[in-house]
Structure 1
Amino acid sequence: MESPIPLPVERAIRKLGADLSLARRRRHITQASLAERMGASLSTVRRMEKGDVRVPIHFFARALHVFGDIQALEQLLDTANDDIGLTLMDEQLPKRVRNKRNTPEAL
């Protein structure tokens, strides 16, 4: 049995769908045209815009590509900007670094 979708995830997907719909309409692109450009079915585009959580992420990526905004997806979890991950890594750094005996650096 599949676990239920957390409410914040569902809300985020619904917002993404609404934002895709708005972006499409602002560009005067029909759902059918977007579907064709994405290589998807019309029903997939409709489901995306309704915020259907069962739509695979690659369709959202394809829509972003059509809108010229694929960089938004690339930057989602950019490790260089992962403050929490970097902080956790920094906490694991040794307090001191010592040369090992009998190594070229120690001589």
Structure 2
Amino acid sequence: MASDDVLPNRLRRSLITLGKGLNIARRRRKLTLASMAERTGVTRQTYGRVEKGDPTVAIGTYLMAMFVLGLDAGALEKAADPQADETGTTLHIAELPSSVRTKRTPQAK
């Protein structure tokens, strides 16, 4: 399977945007591709694929690049927050009973 077939187009575009952002952040900090690769712990070729938004590169590599550049991974942390899962919440609410009855307790004689 080609790397272009791994993700839906919308997600693929998001990774490309992330890669471009990492490229700009690296150049603003005047870091070379080789030094960024070394700091991230990958080869120069792998880091080059990160800046191209390659979906076959491990997510940990993207996160490490963000860390090295001092970028906030808050969006990823928010995505992992169960309270931020709107779809899951909607599905959970749909499964709730429409009414709830209290159980009658037997009367003492």
Match of 2:62 in 1: 60
Runs of 4+ in 1 over 6 A off after TM superposition: none
Q: What amino acid maps onto 1:41 in structure 2?
A: T
**C-alpha distance in 2, partners of 1:98/1:65?**
52
> How many positions carry a matched residue from both structures?
105
Match of 2:89 in 1: 86
Q: Quick check: 1:18–1:50 contact (8 Å CA) kept in 2?
A: yes
Gaps of 5+ in 2: none
Secondary structure of 1:54's aligned partner:
coil
**C-alpha distance in 2, partners of 1:90/1:24?**
44
**C-alpha distance in 1, partners of 2:91/2:75?**
25
| Alpha-carbon displacement from aligned partner over 1:2-50 (angstroms, at most 9, x marks no partner) | 7923322222221111111011112222222221221111111111112
Shift of 1:101: 4.8
Secondary structure of 1:29's aligned partner:
coil
Question: Quick one: which of 70, 73, 76 aligns to 1:70?
Answer: 73
TM-score of the pair, normalised by structure 1: 0.77
Match of 1:20 in 2: 22
Q: What amino acid maps onto 1:39 in structure 2?
A: G
**C-alpha distance in 1, partners of 2:62/2:17?**
12
Q: Quick check: 1:61–1:73 contact (8 Å CA) kept in 2?
A: no
TM-score of the pair, normalised by structure 2: 0.76
Q: What amino acid maps onto 1:72 in structure 2?
A: A
CA RMSD of the aligned region, Å? 2.7
Gaps of 5+ in 1: none
Among all aligned residue pairs of Structure 1 and Structure 2, give the percentage whose two residues are the same amino acid: 42
Shift of 1:77: 4.2
